[in-house]
Structures are given as C-alpha cells and as structure tokens.
Structure 1
Amino acid sequence: MAERQQVNSVGDDDHDLVRRIAEGDKEAMRRLYSHHHLRVYRFILRFISNSATAEDLTNDVFIDVWQQAGRFEFKSKVSTWLLGMARFKALSEIRKTRISVDPDDALGEMEDDADTPEVTAQKRDKGAALRACIEKLTPDHREVIDLVYYHEKSIKEISEIVGISENTVKTRMFHARKKLSVLMQRAGIDRGWP
C-alpha cells in the first residue's frame, strides 16, 4: 500500500512540493529536483546540443524554482511550468550564442560531412535514423514532436509551454508529422505514424 501511495504521489505531490519550496523547505526542493531534473535536462539538450551548457541551464531552472516558487499559480502541472522555464532559458542561450559567435571561428569548427563507419552503422539503426529525421524538421516542428512524443504533453500543456494557441499547436503537429513521414520514407524507415 505504501509503495502504491509513493507512485501516485510523484505527480500529485508536485504542487505540494512547490508550496513547501515557497516556504523554504530544502527537502521539498531536493525531491522536486530528483523527480524532474533529468526530463528538464533532456528537453534543454534537444535545443542546445551541449551537455555542459544543458546541465548549467537545468540548474538555472531549479534555482528559479527555488526563488520563484511563491509565484507559481497552480493553474498547470509543475512539469509544464518547468519545461516552460527550460524552453525560455534554452532559447535565450541560443540567441546569446548566435550573437557571440565569430563567423571565422565557426568556419574552423565545421566538420567533415562524410560518413564514418560508425555513422553508417548508426544509420542502420531505426532509432538513430528517426532522430536524424527529427533533427531535419524546423525548430518549431521539432519542439512540438519532442513535447508530444518524448515528454507526453497534451495540446493544452504545449500551448502553455510554447506560448501559442492550441490551434497553432495542432497545426504545427499536423505539418510536423507530415514532413517527418516524408523524411522517414526518404531515409528508408517504415512509416512510424498512423
């Protein structure tokens, strides 16, 4: 019975944890971090592609939680709030990076496009090939696919995280699935969408 309560308490308990964090409860902060840090990190990593920066931004999200827990309005899931903050931080980092990159330096870091034997082997793997297809989507479409399929967010939650209407989320999802289907067919992957 206690085991069952613990499983149910992870999602149900998040609002209580935020209330306790707002009161300065460090143990509540540790629990919230342990429940969500990996999901937030992976979400940011899809934007940034640099593990050290993604880790720093993940920590920044949880610092903001500690500082702003009293402002949480309890209108959405805590995970939606966290991913919304993570998205904002990732996009800010991308903008900052674009501004600070010297074009001459960037040219020196370009990689050879030729496939290595390792890359060729990875392309045979359906999962790796699917990820490669997803990477070819526009950032808006990639974000919606990521939130729906990897983070299991609803249309409403995605609308809150991204700051767009639910109809826009549906439209992006439709076009993302359509484009992904074409990319997968070109890559020789059987269709992954109904």
Structure 2
Amino acid sequence: MIHRVAAPQHAGRALAGAVSGTSDEDLIRRMAAGERMAMKVFYGRHHVRVHRFLVRLLRSDTAAEDVIGDVFFDVWQQANRYEARASVTTWLLSIARFKALSQLRRRTTDALEPEAAEAIADDADDPEVTLQKADKAAVMRQCLDRLPPIHREVIDLVYYHEQSLDEVAQILGIPENTVKTRVFHARKRLSDLLAAAGIDRGWP
C-alpha cells in the first residue's frame, strides 16, 4: 500500500524534472496539448522578465501585478496558435505589450505610481551591493522617465530584455529602420541625461 500511494508523488516529481529541462518551444507545444506542468515551468522561467517589462511600461508595480496573470493566461490559451515565426520571448513580450497598452488605454484619471523594475531584489546580492544598485537604479529610472515613451520602450526591449532590432520591430509592429532610428535618438538623449546626473560613462 505504501508503494502504491507514493508512486504518484514520485511520478509527479519525475514529470516536473523532465519538463523543467525542456526548451521554451517544447513547453509551448506541451501547453497546447493541455499539459499544466509545462505552464507552471514556463511561468517560473519567465514571470520575472515579464513583470519587469510591465513595470517599465505601466510605471506601476501594482498595475503590473494586475496584468501579469492575464498575460500568462493568454499564453496558455494561445499556445496552439504559436507558429514559431518569432522567438518565444518575442511572442511573449508582444502579448505582454498588448495587455499593458490595453491597461493604459483604460487608465484615464488614475495617477501613475513611480515604480522601478530594478527594485526587484536579487537574493544573491549583499546589502552593500543592493544599496549601490538601488542608488544607480534611482538615477536610471529618473533619466528613463524623461525619455519620450517611444524611446523608453526601445531602450527597455533592446538593453533590458536583449531583443534584437528585428525582434523589437516585430513586438512593436514597426519597420526595423524605424527601430534603429529610435534607438539612436534614445541612446543619445539618455547619454546626455545620465551625464548631467553625474554618470559620465554615458549610455550604454
């Protein structure tokens, strides 16, 4: 009887271990087949990235928390429609951006909360490093907030989420040359702002 009861637990752990080592593409295929463990692994792998992306777009940690569930629910529902024309990360951030813009359109008179994505702590940091990051993050946030939204968005995607120019173009639905132009002007403006704030190394 003991072996019969314990077997499903061992099987569950084995399944979780097997799924956790799969690629994002395989996880999407498993989700399309209705495998909930694949969704759990995918969420664990990507929720911090998506949260940070939403915080920078919505400029509110609370709003990001409200939206992130909808993002991954859409991933679950749309998994069977993923055609690998873009990377999974690009596809995921496209969904997140759509949800964030929908949230912004619904927001009329609500005040935006000045939150910083860098405020998400890294457990590996000691107190001194955490303080240094917080100080630099505060300056970076202030400078990023002074960029026009279209420039802030491309900086976020290219440098924080390491998306290629082609991938950014897919996420934003604009030509790649337009992305290049926005990145050029965003970098120049941000470099000037950082220099004025005392960070002489400029950007990036």
TM-score for the superposition, normalised by structure 2: 0.75
The aligned amino acid for 1:168 is: T
* Residue in 2 that maps onto 1:3: none
Identify which of 183, 188, 194 aligns with 2:193.
183
Number of corresponding residues: 169
Q: Given the alignment, which residue of 154, 172, 186 partners 1:162? A: 172
Deviations 1:1-37 (A, max 9, x none): xxxxx9xx86x70011101101100011111111111
Q: In structure 1, what is the equivalent of residue 14 of structure 2?
A: none
Determine whether 1:33 maps to 2:43. yes
Distance 2:57 2:113 in 1: 19
For the Cα contact (< 8 Å) 2:57–2:100, is it kept in 1?
yes
State how far apart, in whole Å, the 2-side matches of 1:146 and 1:87 are: 12
The residue that corresponds to 1:59 in the other structure is: 69
Any gaps of 5 or more consecutive residues in structure 2?
A: 1-16, 115-130
Change in 2 beyond 3 A, CA 1:57/1:110: closer
- Aligned-residue RMSD, C-alpha: 2.6
Aligned 8 A contact 1:126 1:189 in 2: no
The question of whether the paired residues in 2 share the 8 Å contact of 1:48 and 1:94 is answered with yes
CA distance in 2, matches of 1:110, 1:49: 6
Bigger mean CA deviation after superposition, 183-192 or 73-82: 183-192
Distance 2:177 2:85 in 1: 20
SS in 1 for 2:199: coil
The letter for the 2-side match of 1:176 is: A
One-letter code aligned to 2:146: K
The one-letter code of the counterpart of 2:177 is N
Could you tell me the percent identity over the aligned residues? 56
Note if contact 1:145-1:173 (Cα within 8 Å) is conserved in structure 2.
yes
Given candidates 30, 38, 56, the residue that maps to 1:46 is 56
Q: 2:25 aligns with which of 15, 20, 39?
A: 15
The code of the aligned residue for 2:53 comes to F
| 110 and 155 in structure 1: CA distance in 2 versus 1, 3 angstrom threshold | closer
Residues 66-102 of structure 1, C-alpha deviations (whole Å, 9 max, x = no match): 111111111111111111111111111111102xx27
User: Cα 1:165–1:110, aligned 2, differ >3 Å: closer, same or farther?
Assistant: closer
Shift of 1:51: 2.0
